[in-house]
Amino acid sequence: MPVLNVNEREAIRTTLETNLRRNVPLHLYTSTGGGLYIPGRECRDCEQFEALLNEIITECPKISLKTTEYFSNQTLAVEDNIARIPTLLIGNSPSKLRYVGLPLENQLSVLVQAFIGTSGIRSPLKLDTRRQLRRLKNDVHIQVFVTRTCRFSPQTAILACMMALESSNLTTEVLQIESLSDVPALYSIRGVPKIVINSRVHFTGALNENTLLMQILRASGLESAGTEQIVNYSNEVTPL
């Protein structure tokens, strides 16, 4: 059975055909299982994620896919810092963007925009935002935790992806928590989107461009809170 319905497939084809400027390589860490159930090695969404990507590739020849069996290639997985599957690395190595979990429903737009951004389309970010991001001297890692149905998650995830493409020191990882049963408790997630930057700055709820930029600069040590109170939540949140 196809993963995408007819309308989704056509919308993705049209969007990528119009906006993709250069080839985009993808690298999916997955588990084939070999038809056997092995305790501790199950991956309920791996097969469907690979099928989804192959459907997209059929519509857009500028996208290519490499797959790696996670459990059989632990040395490579460690080199790429892969902790969970399925994990998709987007773009040439070392990848700036990665998606963990199965991106269906509202998350399809995040995947498509990540492809477009990686292909070199002009950034939608403000000029001052791009300049500020290029000030980063230390590595900054953004994690955006999302669900398939949260209407606030896509805008924040896409924004974080676009920011990662503006700095050699910035990476973004989008994690779809319905595929990752251990994640909500591990990160104390009570609502999405939830943003964690360098494991020290936490924010729950949708962020606009200026606020996400401030949080990134705060996590990197380029901005301090000063005398103003920093709020770590917004009202645009979907409770879990």
The dihedral built from the CA positions of residue 214, 217, 221 and 223, taken in this order, carries a sign that is negative
* % residues pLDDT > 90 (the chain): 83
pLDDT computed for residue 229 by the predictor: 53
Containing structural domain, residue 16: 1-103+110-118
**Which CATH number fits the domain that encloses residue 17?**
3.40.30.10
The four Cα atoms 234, 145, 45, 13 give a dihedral, to 10 degrees, of: 70
Rounded distance between C-alpha atoms, residue 19 and residue 7, angstroms: 18
Rounded distance between C-alpha atoms, residue 233 and residue 215, angstroms: 12
Check whether residue 72 and residue 185 sit in a common domain. no
pLDDT in tens, 126-148: 999 999 999 899 999 999 999 99
> 107: which residues sit within 8 A by CB, 6+ positions away?
146, 148, 153, 154, 157, 174, 176
Average pLDDT over residues 62-67: 97
Check whether residue 34 and residue 99 sit in a common domain. yes
Identify the residue with better confidence: 67 or 225: 67
Check whether residue 189 and residue 96 sit in a common domain. no
Check whether residue 88 and residue 174 sit in a common domain. no
Rounded distance between C-alpha atoms, residue 240 and residue 238, angstroms: 7
Cα 22 vs. chain centroid, distance in angstroms?
20
Pick the range with the lowest mean pLDDT from 61-75, 78-92, 208-222: 208-222
pLDDT confidence band for 61 (50 / 70 / 90):
very high
61 CB burial (10 A radius; 0-12, 13-18, 19+) = exposed
Count of structural domains within the chain: 2
Residue 229 lies in a domain: no
Residue 158 lies in a domain: yes
Determine contact, residues 163/208, Cβ cutoff 8 Å: no
pLDDT confidence band for 35 (50 / 70 / 90):
very low
Does the pLDDT of residue 37 top 80, yes or no? no
Rounded distance between C-alpha atoms, residue 138 and residue 129, angstroms: 17
Residue 50 lies in a domain: yes
The four Cα atoms 179, 94, 69, 27 give a dihedral, to 10 degrees, of: 70
